[in-house]
Chains A and B, each alone.
Chain A
């Protein structure tokens, strides 16, 4: 690094100390430049490839999820003759919404028929859309799917941590209070340390003053560089009219050591990373509006309730054997095949591919994921707690996230996401019956909101690893898998192209499926035109 040349006897010079830290700024400027060139870390492709002249070439697409329907939509527009084989009786893949009448039978489980009141639903698959998933937003716009804001962060909501130490453990605490107190406490310590000379050797007086000015602002510090709370974290008596309540009484901060030891601050970074933002989007009426939007365009190409039995290919074409909804076997021939079947399912199917390709398919794990929607008698989180949307963060690994609906504000009832758990915890909870899952969610919620369990009227739960045709929430690549198997699968095997979230670095998001489809149909089209 350039600045390291100007060292003095004490190590880095005062100026280069800051410049050294600024190296991060340098790299983010570089990243911004890369993003403009299309190599950025944001979901990169904002529009589908422009394809023309498909010339009636036949393409069979396996799976009518967003990747499959994206492929069908764009290829059919370009003049390809497309057919989609879909195992289910409905389109969308994991883009599902459970509302009245939605039926699900997990493998080894009992049948659940969603019985929520009219207008209520749970998005048990994808449920929020980042602003930078240009590809997903491309289609919501193209298909006129109304969006509303998904509240992904709410300072008024609770953090419920059992595992921390001190008096905050096991109690619901407003997230905004945690944020103010940890920022205030940390800023106070740092500001006072600087004032006492801790960085005199490393920084110039002007830089130190500037940094302290920032810390005063960041941590709500007073003239003595002390944090004494801030009205933004709430009041014991809220301000109002007249002299009583009049100005109200600000809630005092908690002792810094209590907040630090509670570990509740671990939740604060959760909405500032690449995938999660404070406000996101959701389609009005349920995520499956996106599936319906695609289906309105490509439904005519879909053969529903049609299960693929085998895939064969040679240098002239492909042949897929299937069994349709009436139990009749058949085959379909085409020039090419785009397969969007999750690798967790594909790895167990009879497909004619190279040994290397076959081995690569087996190299990926799929996430175990569980969610439950709880229809609540009344919106107590809004009425009694003034929490409008956002999440309760709970460090019980069987719960992790309870989410309050970002729709139907102030209406009579609502559906809460009661848990969102992963891995072995999802395995555990998924071994329970739907009724037992509801009871588990109720017991946990009761600890945050008294009366929660009694308010539950109905529930619908999903364990994605036990859902036929998915067998997992999303692909989880290891570093080894990314380095070795993944590149193999991104290229066609003969006339077979794979597409889906599993072939992207946006795994588990619809944007991954869409952009993977865009990339693969672009390759297929280039090949057709090169021939």
Chain B
């Protein structure tokens, strides 16, 4: 893994400081209400992202959850752009002791699908 990260750095693909900052801001705005600012979540309610195997593992899994939602988590497919999701997940994979490689916008794009969700339409009224 380390060598992969190093080679990404060498290729200039590593997230730039500016992107990391955007990722942190995006995380604080969109994710921290549940997963908490320190990434520790709330036991029994919101999973911790700090130290999470899912977060650090194959990006397909966390990307799928961000895009399509899962359980109590909403889908962000219609809310966040590919670069936004990439920068947020990159931040999460490198924060609070997590040490996993960055995510590129192309990886997000490759995983988008258009599952229709009830009530997800930008309705002005609900219930």
Contacts and interface: CB of A to CB of B under 8 A. Distances in A.
Interface of A: 107-108, 126-128, 266-267, 270-271, 275-276, 343-345, 347-348, 362, 364-368, 391, 393, 395, 397, 400-401, 420, 422-425, 427-428, 430-431, 463, 465-466, 468, 471-474, 476-480, 507-509
A107 B119 contact: no
B76 A424 contact: yes
Contacts of A401: 124-125
A431 B71 CA distance: 20
Contacts of B75: 365, 423
Nearest to A267: B124
Contacts of A128: 127
Interface of B: 28-34, 36, 42, 44-46, 69-76, 78-80, 115-120, 122-127
A465 B72 contact: yes
A400 B124 CA distance: 6
Contacts of B125: 270-271, 275-276, 391, 401
A431 B119 contact: no
B72 A431 contact: no
Nearest to B72: A344
Contact of B127 (A365, A423, A424, A474): A474
Given A423-B120, A466-B34, A108 B42 contact: yes
A393 B37 CA distance: 32
Contact of A431 (B32, B69, B80, B124): B32
A428 B29 contact: yes
B119 A367 contact: yes
A424 B74 contact: yes
A126 B80 contact: no
B89 to A, nearest CB: 15
A333 B71 CA distance: 29
A297 B89 CA distance: 50
Given A428-B29, A476-B119, A508 B34 contact: no
B74 to A, nearest CB: 5
> For B34, B76, B123, B127, which residue has the most chain A Cβ atoms within 10 angstroms?
B127
A107 B42 contact: yes
Contacts of B119: 367, 422, 474, 476, 507-508
A431 B35 CA distance: 10
A420 B74 CA distance: 16
A431 B124 CA distance: 22
Contacts of B44: 348
A11 B6 CA distance: 68
B28 A431 contact: yes
Contact of B33 (A127, A271, A345, A430): A430
A341 to B, nearest CB: 12
Nearest to A348: B44
A364 B120 CA distance: 13
Nearest to B78: A423
B36 to A, nearest CB: 5
A370 B80 CA distance: 19
Contact of A365 (B70, B80, B116, B124): B70
Most chain A CB within 10 A, of B31, B32, B76, B118, is at B118
Contacts of B124: 266-267, 270, 393, 395, 400-401
Contacts of B34: 107-108, 427, 430, 465-466
B18 to A, nearest CB: 21
A468 B42 CA distance: 10
B127 A126 contact: yes
A466 B117 contact: no
A400 B123 CA distance: 9
17 contacts: A108-B42, A127-B127, A267-B124, A275-B126, A276-B125, A343-B71, A344-B71, A365-B117, A367-B119, A400-B124, A423-B74, A423-B79, A465-B74, A472-B72, A474-B119, A478-B116, A508-B119
